[in-house]
Structure 1
Amino acid sequence: MREPVSERQERILALLRQRGRMRVADLAREMAVSAVTARRDVETLERQGALRRSHGVAIAVNAASGWADSPMEPLVGRGLPVWRESRDFPGPVIGMVVPTAPYYYADVIRGARAAVAEANARLVVGITNYDIDEERAQIRQMQARGVNALLLTPAWPTGTSPDDEADRAAGLSVPTVLVERRGKLGFPVGELDRVCSAHASGSYLAVRHLVELGRRQIALIARGSPTAAQLELGFHAALEHLGVPASAGLVCTTRPRPEFTEIEATLTAVVNRARRGALDAALVHTDQDAVHFVQQLQRHGLRVPDDVAVVAYDDELAALADPPLTAVAPPRFAVGQAAARLVLSRLAERYRAIPGTARAPRHHLDLLPELRVRESCGAGKPA
């Protein structure tokens, strides 16, 4: 009994939904029909808008966004999908929503842009200024314009999703990777892919270095931020592991996005502690605050590193200070690059999904910072 045309064409569409695209000749062979029949079916389905056709290839249509599913090949050694730009498929668009573009996130954006360019895709960036309402508006706008995947840095004060935000990021209709943010365990958002700098490890590196130099009265000075929470975690872990009494450590954290006067007051309080001989080292986030801290120490006759050794956190300006500051450098570029590669692989996985096959495990990637030793801890200082 001959198969009805409608059923045969539905089989074609089912195959394309699984594989994204197929040569018409391969369709004919897999369906056990003649090349003429397969070509005729594909032409009919194209006229109905059910698929697209280009140079003997049938291409599935992503109904959610209107984009044609894309041809992909792995980059050697990376497994990164490559979309070949064509008249029928200009390439996927990856949306990136971040709190701010200057300073820290500038390098994260550059890393994401490099990875997206490798795949012949396009990156669009939305800025939220740490405003949740603006963040929601940016996401809605990107979805309305048909972005195929999202890199998302939500405005979560501690860097971990609050309970009332737990479902929003996890409920988006496109592949989503959290960047420098962590989903709370026990909630759907905790199962999202994420790529973060291991700031706690960076703080540990700094404190370990200071303790190895013989410093025992160490302060952590940090702006209230998602980074600060991780720095404090690593700071206390280092003191405990290295046998430094907790009472010898001092943590000074400002409010989120503090006024300059609040930062100055915090730095002054720590300088006064050093003047009393109750402090001999400090880890300071950010670089800008570390430079101000060194200047205050110098104004009060304290020498760096002789009286107080200083480590900056971020390494944006640290090498330009006087003296040049030892710094912890988070892998900002690599974070953006890894996050973009991960979301591209998830997008490829969605296009290639075959019913009944297991998807790749979710990824929670923590990239380790680097400690760069300079004169503020004694490196290169004349004996």
Structure 2
Amino acid sequence: MTQEAPLPSERRARLIARVRETGSARVSDLSRVLGVTPVTVRRDLALLVAEGTLEKVHGGARIPARGTGTNGGSGSGGGLGARTGASTGVPLPEGMFAGDDERPTIGMVVPSLDYYWPEVIRGARAAAHDTARLILRGGSYDVDQIRHQLAALVSDDGGPGVDGLLVAPPVDGPDATDLADWLAGLDLPVVLMERRLVGGPYREPLESVATDHALGSGTAARHIAERGHRRVGLVTSRTSPHSAAVRRGFLAAAADLEFDVVLDLETDPLAGAEWATDAATVLDECTETGVTAVLVHSDREAISLVELARERGMRVPTDLAVVAYDDEVAALADPPLTAVSPPKAAIGAAAVELLTRRLADADRPVHRIELSSRLIVRASSGD
């Protein structure tokens, strides 16, 4: 017969009793004795330290000495200390992740390891350096593949036993909705990167860090208008989850600035079978409609489009100004491409920070952080 898990109040009472019995106790010992995960122990410790019942020490907790509680008095008691992060301002319990053996393990699943996401990974790795152990898995844009990777990380059957997850899941379709519900039901914190989803019976938002891609493409539209272009084009990828926001922001800015978007096409990615045909269509319509500037999502497609335009005798930026979206390799093009640059490293760093703060305080409000891109002006959009 399956034994029911104790209520949180009962579990915390047992935790306090264990600490009283031994004088002090480590997270790993408390996890074993209570039969719960280390992340659950850390959450309980954070609460008990905050209310002054326990005192945090390296790797565990002890009963506070008389007069040295966390809510006043002398001494160096634990509790909610001064260590805070500039991006959220939410304090962490001092020493929560002090020892390497007690640092939380964070699983990170991204859809690609060779484009866009390497910089996100670098940002996460830098942020996790002193506070968490990061385990990376490369997924895809397929729901089943992403779920397989996530399940392997959280599995009790040979998995690494992560304390939390960073993930960039698919967001469209019923399978994506099922995945969001599964993530919302996990007994560990989840932070989405460059995605926004709701899940669970009440369709509540999952914690997330994402770029405001609509704002970024709007900035590109304003730059194009500032250069005097009145008949412009927009080329987005039919496979990118960011395309809808890029299109929305660009069209909204165009309406505000009262210039004409006479070309609005979705294309295959550069590696897709239809790219050559799609690119030819883009250039044909630019010529037929008098388009003088175009925003292309993303860099690879923009570089290819410039090459194909030159083969047709079109000059960039004289005949056609080009702005790329992503800024992965835009600076290496000939001419170097003006580009919208999402804050990829900052996305990874902020996601790690959100997750470690959730581990320290399970009752904090859900945070949905939105970061802004910046426009880097280069030769492809003219002087």
- TM-score, length-normalised on structure 1? 0.76
The answer as to whether partners of 1:162 and 1:184 remain within 8 angstroms in 2 is: no
1 CA distance for matches of 2:218 and 2:110? 27
Distance 1:141 1:240, change over 3 A: same
2:379 maps to which of 352, 375, 378 = 375
After superposition, residues 256-271 of structure 1 pair within 5 angstroms as 259-271=271-283
What's the counterpart of residue 5 of structure 2? none
After superposition, residues 331-370 of structure 1 pair within 5 angstroms as 331-350=343-362, 359-370=363-374
Distance 1:125 1:80, change over 3 A: farther
Query: How far did 1:324 drift?
Result: 0.8
What's the counterpart of residue 203 of structure 1? 217
- Does 2:115 align with 1:103? yes
Query: How far did 1:65 drift?
Result: 2.5
What's the counterpart of residue 7 of structure 1? none
What's the counterpart of residue 320 of structure 2? 308
* Amino acid in the other structure paired with 1:146: G
**3-state DSSP of counterpart to 1:178:** strand
What's the counterpart of residue 84 of structure 1? 98
2 CA distance for matches of 1:302 and 1:273? 13
Q: Percent identity of the aligned residues?
A: 38
Distance 1:374 1:172, change over 3 A: same
* Amino acid in the other structure paired with 2:225: V
1 CA distance for matches of 2:339 and 2:201? 35
Distance 1:297 1:14, change over 3 A: same
* Amino acid in the other structure paired with 1:101: L
Query: How far did 1:259 drift?
Result: 4.6
Could you list the runs of 5+ residues in structure 2 that have no partner in the other structure? 1-8, 43-58, 61-77
- TM-score, length-normalised on structure 2? 0.76
1:147-196 CA-to-partner distances (Å, cap 9, x unmatched) read: 001111112348x9854444122111101111111114896554211111
**3-state DSSP of counterpart to 2:242:** helix
CA RMSD of aligned residues (A): 3.1
The number of residues matched between the two structures is 327
What's the counterpart of residue 255 of structure 2? 240
1 CA distance for matches of 2:293 and 2:121? 33
1:318-348 CA-to-partner distances (Å, cap 9, x unmatched) read: 1111111100000000001101100110001
2 CA distance for matches of 1:127 and 1:364? 24
1 CA distance for matches of 2:257 and 2:130? 43
Deviating more after overlay: 330-339 vs 164-173: 164-173
After superposition, residues 174-323 of structure 1 pair within 5 angstroms as 174-184=188-198, 188=202, 190-224=204-238, 225-245=240-260, 248-254=261-267, 259-276=271-288, 278-323=290-335
1:113 maps to which of 110, 125, 146 = 125
1 CA distance for matches of 2:91 and 2:126? 12
What's the counterpart of residue 137 of structure 1? 148
1:112-168 CA-to-partner distances (Å, cap 9, x unmatched) read: 11111131x10001122222222222111111231001111112348x985444412
Distance 1:104 1:12, change over 3 A: closer
1 CA distance for matches of 2:149 and 2:183? 13
List structure 1 segments (4+ residues) > 3 angstroms apart after TM superposition.
Answer: 10-13, 51-54, 58-64, 66-82, 160-166, 184-190, 257-261
**3-state DSSP of counterpart to 1:151:** strand
The answer as to whether partners of 1:313 and 1:328 remain within 8 angstroms in 2 is: yes
2 CA distance for matches of 1:186 and 1:53? 30
The answer as to whether partners of 2:143 and 2:175 remain within 8 angstroms in 1 is: no
- Does 2:164 align with 1:149? yes
Distance 1:249 1:344, change over 3 A: farther
